[in-house]
């Protein structure tokens, strides 16, 4: 098993003493596997031997094979016998000795894998072997001392780990290479049958009658087989080394030739080196000459500085006054800027109402013009009737005078005729008044119909435009299934290709980034509408690093964007990191800011939104009631400028604006739901347009009928005027 250096040194008066040590462990029949008996026959002299290394002093097993705890066994320095009943652990000790010193599982003839040595129901097995390490052949005695403890743990997955300790229990190493070094130093060969002869190997050796097998056993026992393999490996290494040497010789010749060439070149440039040194000297001289000239030029400047130093105090005072004024101006500018932002937001919120009022004013102005026309016509008609009345009165007076001149019968006849004419005149007058009233009614009816017709026509036009917009949006949504960029417009992919081409041609210093909406993604889908309501047109905007790139980008847009529909271009210096806004951003324990509610793919986009929209100071609150409570019932959170609800409503400290947005247009992730919603809205708009057309036809017919009646009454009025 090991190289033993055992000597008995006798002195006069000393004698050898034979001692046999037995170690027995007894247990009942249920724990027979724990039962082992150790008998040691140890012969030693009265003087200890000086050079004993590699001797096994003790071994202890835990959860190894079928034993929960076996040992520790203390061995003597000479011959030791391990005896016991079947199943008491004799073979387990030998197997543990092979495995514990690094042997393979197959070398034990007890199993094909290390995990088979772990006791059933346990997760690992432990082996502890103590080797003697004394004398002049000791292995690193300054580290390990007089004994080396080899601890090995085998896990249930078949892996094992080593822990090499000194006699005092200090961990020295956990590497297998250290164990192999110890075994080589002590000449311990666990896979050599001469050192460790298992039962199976002994049976095979004793029962084998084949000389070839015995010779193989001899080769293995004497390590001739290993030496043969080592020799073959050495010869292969030798051949490879010879080839490398031949290649090295050829390479050496090439290097020698290169060396000679470089040596000649070095000699040829020696003169250049001297000239370079002279050039350096001349440069130094020239530098000092320049210094001299500069000192002459500096002298009057120094005198001027001394003269101006007297005015420094006055300038410092002026500077402080200017700084105070500048600070005041900055505060005024900031206040004006905040007021401008508030006014801009209010103007933006009032824009739809302004458009509606302008349309109402135009309608009322048209009605006033028509009323003025009707008033002037009525006034003219009144003047005409006044003249007719005056003529009739004159005619009646003439008839009265002439009646006084005639005789009574004629007078009576004329009076009857006058009475008849007066009655007829009154009837005509009443009929004329009635016709005038009816004409006025027809005028009013026609005016109302035309006014309603104009309103319906305007609403019909708006509905058609809305229908066209929604149909375009539906096409964009369907195309966005294959290309998400088409959600921002059919022209966007082609426009981005043009930008890429221009960038490759060097027309941009930095490639523009956009549309911004393609780089932002709401973390919470319920806040998508709130984000779009907050960013508005910025979703389609582009970012440029400088104004030159902005002009180049503007020159590319006319081909892809119609006039009046070009997106905003933000000029902001590109940075690779997002601004640190912790000191000026809003924080609320329940609700996120727009910045924290978004996943932004590009730092430049995040910085642009911070600069232009201040998204770090805007809260997103799903409930409108909660938004009013946070922003208006109490003081708004620190650094909070405004908030948006899940419906897109905008909430300030003292104002609340309802949103015109119904559904998100650009940032929604559920494209199919958006498509279904748009298709329903398109069908609804088509129904509205059909209803508008039917109502317009009905009003046209009503206007024509009223105009026919009006013409008939006007013709009757003219007939009455003739009579």
Instruction: Indicate the range of 135-144, 244-253, 590-599, 682-691 predicted with least confidence.
Output: 682-691
- What whole-number distance in Å separates Cα of residue 383 and Cα of residue 213? 149
The DSSP output letter for 593 is B
Q: 53-191, what's its fold?
A: Rossmann fold (3.40.50)
Supply the pLDDT for residue 40.
36
pTM higher than 0.75 for the full model? Answer: no
- What whole-number distance in Å separates Cα of residue 553 and Cα of residue 711? 63
Cα dihedral 712/717/722/723 (nearest 10): 100
Provide CB contacts within 8 A for 149, sequence distance 6+: 128, 129, 130, 131, 164, 165, 166, 167, 169
Instruction: For residue 617, give both structure tokens.
Output: 């100071």
The DSSP output letter for 490 is T
Supply the pLDDT for residue 62.
92
Supply the pLDDT for residue 599.
93
Supply the pLDDT for residue 517.
92
For residues 195 and 53, the model is more confident at 53
The DSSP output letter for 566 is P
Parallel, antiparallel or unpaired: strands 80-83 and 36-44: antiparallel
Provide CB contacts within 8 A for 163, sequence distance 6+: 151, 152, 153, 171, 174
Supply the pLDDT for residue 646.
92
Please report which confidence band the pLDDT of residue 70 belongs to, taking 50, 70 and 90 as the band edges.
confident
For residues 647 and 71, the model is more confident at 647
Cβ atoms of residues 63 and 122 within 8 Å? yes
Task: Label residue 669 exposed, middle or buried (CB < 10 Å: 0-12, 13-18, 19+).
Answer: exposed
For the stretch 4-47, pLDDT in tens is: 333 333 333 333 333 333 333 333 333 333 333 333 334 333 33
Sheet holding 160-165, edge to edge: 67-74, 53-64, 124-133, 147-155, 160-165, 171-173
Sign of CA dihedral 27, 30, 34, 35: positive
Supply the pLDDT for residue 580.
92
Supply the pLDDT for residue 512.
95
Instruction: For residue 677, give both structure tokens.
Output: 């919603």
Instruction: For residue 253, give both structure tokens.
Output: 């010749």
Supply the pLDDT for residue 228.
83
Please report which confidence band the pLDDT of residue 357 belongs to, taking 50, 70 and 90 as the band edges.
confident
Q: Which of 435, 502, 445 is nearest to 717 (CA)?
A: 435
Cβ atoms of residues 60 and 73 within 8 Å? yes
- What whole-number distance in Å separates Cα of residue 270 and Cα of residue 263? 11
For residues 428 and 350, the model is more confident at 350
Phi-psi region of 169 (alpha: psi -120 to 50; beta: other; left: phi over 0): left
- What whole-number distance in Å separates Cα of residue 322 and Cα of residue 41? 108
Task: Label residue 446 exposed, middle or buried (CB < 10 Å: 0-12, 13-18, 19+).
Answer: buried
Supply the pLDDT for residue 209.
65
- What whole-number distance in Å separates Cα of residue 17 and Cα of residue 344? 114
Domain spans of the chain, in order of start: 53-191, 484-669
Q: Report, in angstroms and rounded to the nearest whole number, the Rg of the chain calculated over CA atoms.
A: 57
Does an H or E element contain 475, and which? helix 408-479
Parallel, antiparallel or unpaired: strands 542-544 and 569-571: parallel
Mean pLDDT calculated for residue range 251-262: 88
Supply the pLDDT for residue 477.
67
Supply the pLDDT for residue 501.
94
Please report which confidence band the pLDDT of residue 1 belongs to, taking 50, 70 and 90 as the band edges.
very low
Mean pLDDT calculated for residue range 390-416: 70
Please report which confidence band the pLDDT of residue 721 belongs to, taking 50, 70 and 90 as the band edges.
low
- What whole-number distance in Å separates Cα of residue 96 and Cα of residue 105? 10
Instruction: Indicate the range of 116-120, 473-477, 503-507 predicted with least confidence.
Output: 473-477
Q: Please tell me the number of Cα atoms within 13 Å of 330 on its side-chain side.
A: 6
How crowded is residue 549: how many other Cβ atoms within 10 Å of its Cβ? 23
Please report which confidence band the pLDDT of residue 530 belongs to, taking 50, 70 and 90 as the band edges.
very high
Mean pLDDT calculated for residue range 522-527: 90
The DSSP output letter for 653 is S
For the stretch 625-637, pLDDT in tens is: 999 999 988 889 9
The DSSP output letter for 631 is I
For the stretch 424-452, pLDDT in tens is: 677 767 666 776 677 777 677 777 777 77
Instruction: Indicate the range of 176-180, 261-265, 515-519 predicted with least confidence.
Output: 261-265
- What whole-number distance in Å separates Cα of residue 472 and Cα of residue 467? 8
Percent of the chain exceeding pLDDT 90 equals: 24
For residues 31 and 684, the model is more confident at 684
For residues 103 and 591, the model is more confident at 591
Cβ atoms of residues 145 and 166 within 8 Å? yes
Provide the mean pLDDT of the chain: 79
For the stretch 194-219, pLDDT in tens is: 777 777 777 777 776 677 777 777 77
Supply the pLDDT for residue 613.
92
Supply the pLDDT for residue 17.
34
- What whole-number distance in Å separates Cα of residue 607 and Cα of residue 580? 10
Distance in angstroms between the alpha carbons of the first and the last residue of the chain: 156
Percent of the chain exceeding pLDDT 70 equals: 85
- What whole-number distance in Å separates Cα of residue 633 and Cα of residue 656? 13
pLDDT at residue 226 is higher than 60: yes
Please report which confidence band the pLDDT of residue 717 belongs to, taking 50, 70 and 90 as the band edges.
low
Tallying the residues shown for the chain, one arrives at 723
Parallel, antiparallel or unpaired: strands 642-644 and 618-620: parallel
Is 16 in a helix, a strand, or coil? coil
- What whole-number distance in Å separates Cα of residue 656 and Cα of residue 93? 87
Q: Which of 674, 661, 688, 684 is nearest to 462 (CA)?
A: 688
Instruction: Indicate the range of 247-256, 358-367, 669-678 predicted with least confidence.
Output: 669-678
- What whole-number distance in Å separates Cα of residue 504 and Cα of residue 51? 82
pLDDT at residue 603 is higher than 80: yes
């Amino acid at each position: 098993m090991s190289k033993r250096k055992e000597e008995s040194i006798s002195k006069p008066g000393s004698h050898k003493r034979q001692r046999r040590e037995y170690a027995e462990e007894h247990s009942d029949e249920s724990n027979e596997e724990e039962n082992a008996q150790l008998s040691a026959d140890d012969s030693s002299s009265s003087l200890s031997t000086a050079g004993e290394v590699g001797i096994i002093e003790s071994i202890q097993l835990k959860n190894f094979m079928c034993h929960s705890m076996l040992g520790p066994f203390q061995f003597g320095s000479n011959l030791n016998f391990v005896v016991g009943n079947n199943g008491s652990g004799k073979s387990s000790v030998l197997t543990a000795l092979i495995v514990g010193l690094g042997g393979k599982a197959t070398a034990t003839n007890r199993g094909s894998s290390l995990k088979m040595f772990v006791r059933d129901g346990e997760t690992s097995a432990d082996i502890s072997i103590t080797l003697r390490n004394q004398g002049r052949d000791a292995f690193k005695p300054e580290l390990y001392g007089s004994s080396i403890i080899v601890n090995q743990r085998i896990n249930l997955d078949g892996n094992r780990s080593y822990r090499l300790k000194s006699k005092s229990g200090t961990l020295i190493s956990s590497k297998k290479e250290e164990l192999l070094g110890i075994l080589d130093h002590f000449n311990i060969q666990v896979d050599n049958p001469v050192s460790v002869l298992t039962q199976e190997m002994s049976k095979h050796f004793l029962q084998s009658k084949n000389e070839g097998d015995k010779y193989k056993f001899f080769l293995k026992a004497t390590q001739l087989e290993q030496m043969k393999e080592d020799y073959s490996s050495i010869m292969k290494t030798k051949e490879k080394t010879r080839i490398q040497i031949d290649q090295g010789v050829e390479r050496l010749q090439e290097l020698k030739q290169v060396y000679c060439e470089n040596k000649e070149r070095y000699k040829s440039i020696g003169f250049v080196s001297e000239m370079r040194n002279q050039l350096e000297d001349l440069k130094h001289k020239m530098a000092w000459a320049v210094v001299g000239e500069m000192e002459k030029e500096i002298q009057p400047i120094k005198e001027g500085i001394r003269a101006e130093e007297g005015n420094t105090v006055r300038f410092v005072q002026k500077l402080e006054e200017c700084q105070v004024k500048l600070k005041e101006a900055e505060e005024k500018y900031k206040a004006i800027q905040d007021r401008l932002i508030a006014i801009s937001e209010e103007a933006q919120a009032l824009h739809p109402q302004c458009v509606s009022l302008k349309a109402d004013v135009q309608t009322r102005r048209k009605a006033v013009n028509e009323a003025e026309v009707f008033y002037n016509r009525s006034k003219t008609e009144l003047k005409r009737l006044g003249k007719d009345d005056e003529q009739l009165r004159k005619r009646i007076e003439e008839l009265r005078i002439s009646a006084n001149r005639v005789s009574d019968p004629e007078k009576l006849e004329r009076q009857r005729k006058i009475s008849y004419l007066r009655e007829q005149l009154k009837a005509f007058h009443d009929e004329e008044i009635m016709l005038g009233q009816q004409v006025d009614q027809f005028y009013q009816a026609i005016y109302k119909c035309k006014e309603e017709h104009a309103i319906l026509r305007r609403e019909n036009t708006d509905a058609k435009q809305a229908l066209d917009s929604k149909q375009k949006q539906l096409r964009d949504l369907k195309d966005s299934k294959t290309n998400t960029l088409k959600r921002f417009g059919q022209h966007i992919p082609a426009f981005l290709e043009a930008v890429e081409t221009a960038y490759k041609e060097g027309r941009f210093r930095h490639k523009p980034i956009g549309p911004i909406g393609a780089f932002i993604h709401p973390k919470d889908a319920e806040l998508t509408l709130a984000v779009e309501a907050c960013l508005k047109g910025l979703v389609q905007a582009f970012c440029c690093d400088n104004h030159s790139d902005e002009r180049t980008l503007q020159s590319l847009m006319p081909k892809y964007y119609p006039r009046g529909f070009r997106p905003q271009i933000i000029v902001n210096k590109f940075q690779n990191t997002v601004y640190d806004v912790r000191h000026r951003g809003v924080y609320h324990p329940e609700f996120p800011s727009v910045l924290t509610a978004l996943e932004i793919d590009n730092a430049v986009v995040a910085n642009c939104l911070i600069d232009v929209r201040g998204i770090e100071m805007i809260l997103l609150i799903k409930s409108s009631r909660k938004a009013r409570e946070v922003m208006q019932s109490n003081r708004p959170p620190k650094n909070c400028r405004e908030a948006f609800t899940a419906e897109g409503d905008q909430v300030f400290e003292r104002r609340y604006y309802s949103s015109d947005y119904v559904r998100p247009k650009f940032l929604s992730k559920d494209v199919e739901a958006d498509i279904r919603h748009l298709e329903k809205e398109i069908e609804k708009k088509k129904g509205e347009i059909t209803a508008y057309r039917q109502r317009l036809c009905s009003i046209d017919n009503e206007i024509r009928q009223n105009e026919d009646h009006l013409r008939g009454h006007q013709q009757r009025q003219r007939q009455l005027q003739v009579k």
